Amino acid sequence: MSKITLKDLPALAEELSMNGELVESFLFACKLKNLTAKSMQGYGERIAYLMRWAATQGKDLDALTKRDLQEYITMLIDRVSVATINGRIAVYKVFFKHLKDEGFLTVDPMAEIRKMKQPKLIKAVLTPDDMGKVLNQLDRKTFNGSRDFCMLLLAFDAMVRCNKLLSIRLDELDLQSGLLKVFVTFPHSLVQS
């Protein structure tokens, strides 16, 4: 079922003896939003999975209840990743909201269904040996090599972000003292009045 897009859903609906008007309406709305081909494929694949599951339950998409959708999502747990489940939930929320807004449904069965909490992943960090290997690759006898060496040291030692490294101005640099002024902007919610 790979490479299915929203454009393929009306044919799938016919194959599964489902109401193709539902997916045609959603397809039209997505075309008006001028979604990318990747988004159209992602929506199509996720809705196709739900359509095939609904067909095994003997139901059309507009007959699915909150309980049905909870059962479907529960069935996915331990079969696919939390990110995949959350991706499907996000698409189904958009799809069923559209069906309700267009009058195909009186109640949005996805309205109260929330995404799963994703486990926090700890990102791998460079070891001192890894940092040394990266720095040793640079030719410090050239301008670019010296510049890149300094930028990487700032990133590693001072934890200066890449966008800040790329926007350093001469007036922020004091070569006599060996200092660099780094201005940090805090989100408004963190600034006390």
Q: Which residue from 104, 102, 109 is spatially nearest to 50, judged by alpha carbons?
A: 109
Q: Report d(CA 9, CA 26) in Å as an integer.
A: 10
| 125 against 33, higher pLDDT | 33
Name, in order, each residue with C-beta under 8 angstroms of 153's C-beta and a sequence gap of 6 or more: 135
Mean pLDDT of the chain: 88
Residue-level pLDDT at 172: 85
Q: Which residue from 183, 171, 138 is spatially nearest to 151, judged by alpha carbons?
A: 138
Name, in order, each residue with C-beta under 8 angstroms of 3's C-beta and a sequence gap of 6 or more: 41
pLDDT tens readout for residues 38-49: 888 999 999 999
Residue 188 — very low, low, confident or very high, per pLDDT cuts 50/70/90? low
Q: Which amino acid is at 190?
A: L
Residue-level pLDDT at 74: 95
pTM, to two decimals: 0.64
Cα distances (angstroms) measured from residue 193 to each of 133, 184, 185, 189, 190: 46, 17, 15, 10, 10
Q: Report d(CA 166, CA 172) in Å as an integer.
A: 13
List the chain domain ranges: 6-101, 128-190
Burial category of 99 from C-beta neighbours within 10 Å (exposed 0-12, middle 13-18, buried 19 and up): buried
pLDDT tens readout for residues 119-138: 787 778 888 898 889 899 99
Question: What does the CA dihedral 15, 18, 21, 27 come to, rounded to 10 degrees?
Answer: -60
Residue-level pLDDT at 1: 45
Q: Which amino acid is at 34?
A: N
pLDDT tens readout for residues 89-112: 999 999 999 999 999 999 999 999
pLDDT tens readout for residues 142-160: 999 998 998 888 888 888 8
